[in-house]
Chains A and B, each alone.
Chain A
């Protein structure tokens, strides 16, 4: 059974700092990995999706990497801003017939202080 772990559970940084969020998964047979953002009282917003054949994806100040063989992904946020404060979730999608089934980590709560 796939298990996804996110470390740290919470992170507080001053504005302008670069930071890294970590995600690890136990089964490397994945179709893709996705990073989401969740704001309080809101749904999930997709940030980046990395296919299993890719090593990284970038969008603006965000960069996500994937090392499938070691079961790890990182989300790098450059020059953090207070508006980046949210919970960040990673989710893996398995390869094979059950590739509708996202398995989520419990998230990292990020606070960026002005």
Chain B
């Protein structure tokens, strides 16, 4: 299996622009997680999907952030409009079930200038 796939790997954008991050989970996994990693706050869970349904979005920082999972093999995290403080590494992870081991993608490094 190719593992969790994320794109793009790097994204540089200007403040105010829309940013879309993409994730393809491991085939057969029904749980998907989006995390954000910063030096100040470490790794934080943004949102958790189970069977394509958002279960916990309490970690989404504000309304500028939205996430979708239209099918079992694809998810997006969108930031609109982006701000410099959104600069971070965004990870997607998937697992066979909510309490099973999570497998992480390589991350997307986002820089907002």
Closest to A45 in B: B104
Given contacts A101-B45, A104-B42, contact A44 B91 (CB under 8 A): yes
- Chain A's interface size range is 20 to 34
| Cα distance, A43 to B42, chains bound together (Å) | 14
| Cα distance, A110 to B33, chains bound together (Å) | 27
Give the distance to chain B from A7, nearest Cβ to Cβ, in Å.
14
| Cα distance, A90 to B10, chains bound together (Å) | 26
A43 is contacted by which of B45, B99, B101, B105 (Cβ under 8 Å)?
A: B105
Residues of A within 8 A of B78 (CB): none
Residues of B within 8 A of A49 (CB): 101
Establish whether residues A43 and B4, one from each chain, have CB atoms under 8 Å apart when the complex forms. Answer: yes
Q: In the complex, which residues 37-71 of chain A have their Cβ closer than 8 Å to any Cβ of chain B?
A: 41-46, 49
Proximity bits, A92-113, B CB within 8 Å = 1, else 0 = 0100001111101111000000
Given contacts A43-B104, A43-B107, A100-B56, contact A93 B42 (CB under 8 A): no
Q: Can you report 24 residue pairs joining A to B where beta carbons are below 8 Å apart?
A: A31-B99, A34-B101, A41-B107, A43-B91, A43-B104, A43-B105, A43-B106, A43-B107, A44-B93, A45-B104, A46-B103, A49-B101, A89-B43, A91-B43, A99-B98, A100-B31, A100-B50, A100-B55, A100-B98, A100-B99, A101-B45, A104-B42, A105-B42, A106-B42
Q: Which residues of A contact B (CB under 8 A)?
A: 31, 34, 41-46, 49, 89, 91, 93, 98-102, 104-107
